[in-house]
Chain A
Amino acid sequence: GENVEQHPSTLSVQEGDSAVIKCTYSDSASNYFPWYKQELGKGPQLIIDIRSNVGEKKDQRIAVTLNKTAKHFSLHITETQPEDSAVYFCACAAYTGGFKTIFGAGTRLFVKA
């Protein structure tokens, strides 16, 4: 079946450094690629998304890149801050009579002050 692989599972960076999280997917029909941030005890919340007709998207310190040929996409966080510490999930969605979303296993990001 379809799957999404996410790496690394844990990432520790110094405040001010950049963090990069990478995902690969198997379903070539996927056309929507969101990233979610989950803080402790809460539900995931969307931080940025990209669609298959766009290669890169940026929102302040966060950027996402997509390579459909290689079936991989990445999240880049620049100038990391302690409040960026959380679990990040990549996901991809394809239309199958409804939109079924498959999530990666998550990356736990620690930003050390």
Chain B
Amino acid sequence: NAGVTQTPKFRVLKTGQSMTLLCAQDMNHEYMYWYRQDPGMGLRLIHYSVGEGTTAKGEVPDGYNVSRLKKQNFLLGLESAAPSQTSVYFCASSWGDNEQFFGPGTRLTVL
């Protein structure tokens, strides 16, 4: 099993550009999450999903959109990137309120 995978691993964007981060899991988990990690601030929840076709806002949802069209995939979109969105993005999945399994992260720089 690959666990949780994220694509791409690194990306540099210019302000105003758009992009989509892809997260895939092969553990048949119902729950999936997107976090951003900034120095000194830990992990902050952007959006999460409790099942295929459902999404919900986390702590810092502004400027991001998500979709969960298939159970195994959770997409994070930035419609118009801003320098404040420079961060490391982690996807995770879980069975309900149990252990979350994290992907390796995507390092995004917005110039």
Interface set of A (CB-CB < 8 Å, partner B): 1, 6, 9, 31-32, 34, 36, 41-46, 49, 89, 91, 93, 95, 97-106
Question: Residues of B within 8 Å of A, CB-based: how many?
Answer: 28
Q: In the complex, which of the residues A6, A9, A101, A102 contacts B100, with contact meaning CB atoms closer than 8 Å?
A: A101
- Top 6 nearest A-B pairs (CB, nearest first) are A43-B102, A98-B50, A99-B97, A103-B43, A105-B42, A46-B99
CA distance A6 to B31 in the complex (A): 26
CA distance A41 to B107 in the complex (A): 10
List B contacts of A102 (CB < 8 A).
45, 59
Q: A34, B99: Cβ atoms under 8 Å?
A: yes
List B contacts of A44 (CB < 8 A).
43, 90, 100, 102
Given contacts A43-B104, A101-B33, contact A1 B56 (CB under 8 A): no
Report the nearest A residue to B91, measured CB to CB. Answer: A43
Is B58 part of the contact surface with A, judged by Cβ < 8 Å? yes
Interface flags for B21-36 (1: CB within 8 Å of A; 0: not) read 0000000000101010
CA distance A20 to B55 in the complex (A): 36
13 further interface pairs, Cβ-Cβ under 8 Å (given A44-B100, A97-B56): A1-B59, A32-B97, A41-B104, A43-B90, A43-B105, A46-B100, A91-B43, A99-B96, A100-B48, A100-B58, A101-B45, A101-B100, A105-B41
CA distance A104 to B98 in the complex (A): 17
Task: Identify which of A9, A36, A45, A98 gathers the most chain B CB atoms within 10 Å of its CB.
Answer: A98
- A sample of 16 inter-chain contacts (CB < 8 A) reads A32-B98, A34-B99, A41-B105, A42-B104, A43-B92, A43-B102, A44-B90, A46-B100, A93-B97, A95-B97, A99-B96, A100-B45, A102-B45, A103-B35, A104-B42, A105-B41
